[in-house]
Structure 1
Amino acid sequence: MTKGILSLAALGLAAVPASLTAQAGPTADDPLGIPANISLMREANPNVRTATAIVNGQVITGTDVDQRLALVVSASRNQLSEEELQRLRMQVLRNLIDETLQIQAATAQEITVTRAEVDQRYNSLAAQNFGQDPAAMDAYLLSVGSSPASLKRQIEGELAWQNLLQRNISPFVRVSQEEVNELLKRLESSRGTDEYRLGEIFLSATPENRNSVIQGAQQIVEQLRQGASFVAYARQFSEASTAAVGGDLGFVRLAQLPAELATVAAEMQPGQLVGPIEIPGGFSILYLIDKRQVLMADPRDAVLSLKQISISFEPGVSQEIAEAQVERFANGVEAMRGCGDADAAAAALGAIVVSNDQIRARSLPEQLQNIVLNLQIGQTTPPFGSIEEGVRVLMLCGRDDAEVAGGPSFDQLMDQLEEERINKRAQRYLRDLRNDAYIEYN
């Protein structure tokens, strides 16, 4: 194909009105040079959505889509509308197309993923979620309408893509010692400033599909806010290399993020979800997992020795009687003379004491963390709980404060910089695979 522009006459087409040709041609605001007024040659029917495809001759069946969709739906705690399901179905199909392209690209370069490698990753997931019982995970997948084969296919795609990147991209990414040393200096100079552990779901977008990607991203955000698993959605939908680890970026500083994300992250609190946020190349959904200060000890890393003192209630107890029992319990706890008196005093109240001397403050519910960290030895939290769950207090009996953080090592920073560059090149690599692919939709 030549780089010249064919005339309309050479194509056998009539000339278009001057009012349109004046607007034609790429500009900064319109890089594709699309006229403002166009005439559609066929009607677009928004109710017609294809659900299968042939990618370079390889078929993605409706069953493939349904079983992968079931994995996503199982991570949602709320009933999805038919419109939401249709949008998710199309996003799942796009993911399956990308996955197929990745496996094909690896196979073309004689990079294979063995059944043993897939089974090992599958069994590892079973160990994390089902107590090292792959059969239990098999049964769960089938119960939600998916299958072990569908999840194993996703694992195969992840491993194939990782192996391909390790061969074709990783060896050519270079990070100099000077860059890492400069980053270490900046890190030291930022001591005491905040850093953020973020989860990200990245969805690529072009000017042509921007609106549909926004709709899909908004739907994902809505499901996440209703209780869907961020990790599960990141694994299924995120196009960043961190998808395989549930979108976890680890701890980063604002300067390491794109400006659009840094502005948003600076205002976020742990547990907050924000998005979609438009960035170059697409949209991101951010979830703030944790927050700490650079090179400073985090009080929440303190190891605590706690006594949990609790009472329970008889089934069917009235609210009035329960409140009276709680009042007696609270007064009795206040009268305790420290941890040495706790067991005997609790027995007199009919309470149960459970001790643990290896609890990190950050493992406590967020509402309790600051309360416990401000206690003196022998003091207790206010009572908390309910009639159904019982009422309890925590008594602080010891505390080993966290040591000052040493910060990331030279090698850790080098690995981080390399991963960032590999991720950017991987996105370009996948975009090229899409551009070169032959895809037929059924």
Structure 2
Amino acid sequence: MPFSKLGLSDPIIKAITEQGYTVPTPVQAKAIPVILSGRNVIAAAQTGTGKTASFVLPILEKLKHFETLRKKRIRALIITPTRELAVQVEHNITQYSTHLNLTSLAMYGGVPLEPQKQALIQGVDILVATPGRLLDMYTQRAIHFDEIEILVLDEADRMLDMGFIEDINKIMDKLPQERQNLLFSATLSNQVRALAKTTIAKPVEISVIDKSAPTKIDQWLITVDKDKKSALLSHLISEQQWQQTLIFIETKHGAAKLVSQLEKRGITAECIHGGRSQEIRERILADFKSGKISLLIATGIAARGIDIDSLPRVVNYDLPYPADDYIHRIGRTGRAGSEGEAVSLVSKDDFKNLCAIETKLGHLITRKEIEGFAPKKSVPMSILNYVPKNKKETDGKQTANSNHDRRKEECKSTNKATMSHKSHSPSKPKSSAVTNKLPLNPWGK
């Protein structure tokens, strides 16, 4: 189904065609007509499935006939958890509205207030904002909410994880009652549903997890002792000549330390995290997207908003928790049908996180060994037992419960003989070449 069948007008179709998009993704095909009808929506779709266009395109369609005429007013408000994501969403709005007479603004902290205040004085059609800066502007009377027609909570799960619920509730109390509400999230957790229940009346729920579609993300992991991770990463970068690689790490201290460790081995990398100024983060992101920087180390929060259609590779230097974050991270590669690679460096300390991730995926991640980096502290194998389809439903429930209990015990006790690395690990390769490479579907069995 082409975009023209979804109810979008010619100027918008022309803009997205110029960006190289001709066929909507599943979440776009489902969400756009519902939003155009005026219904409230809560939608879940994984990273890289086109969620942003799912709400931006119908918003442009609904607002295109009129403009904001009063000062300090906005017509659509999009709330995002991070500065990087606010910039990325506003950039998408600019691209899609190139043939429309609409204005947009990204508003976030870490930069001076005055330029954002001046932009608001003229009136803005679509504002993309982080919660804290938005409340600051409202308190200073730099913005008024009385003309808001559409509200979007983007990456709602991440906003809750980051503790923004109080700020969100304060914002909701100040918005006009008559408005269209849209909530988009990578997952519909209990917390997200609770937020939706208190803020969105009678929503249409859209959930798109296309497990049948073949993925081009090749997932694999390397077991290695924790103190050898930086040496292994340096080896992989040099031996396999990795270019434009996004490396995830858990802490800003760890990010800075890893940059230094790589530099000592003659490898240039940059890092972004919450401790760096907004100006520096924007410059580094721009250089990474343009290819001037080939290796970018980022904490999970700072990496929100990195949107590159052909990013070839992501590396989990540290395995994330919760398991959903793994899905978010690998979704940064393999976008728009392109091929991608997701590599994880796993030590024994990561075992519980690995259990949770592989249980979430429904399959084991392919393991490989690199000669010279075999761990002294072996990483046990998770055991995933699937319920046969021909089992009776009652038997299936009992088996599923049994499997769940078994996995919990395995994650608690990493030294059981049945899970020893020796009995399950692939044979050691004879050279430094990577072995046992098998593509897997990260969202299906």
State the TM-score, normalizing by the size of structure 1: 0.24
Q: Which has the higher helix share?
A: 1
Task: Choose 1 or 2 for highest CA Rg.
Answer: 1
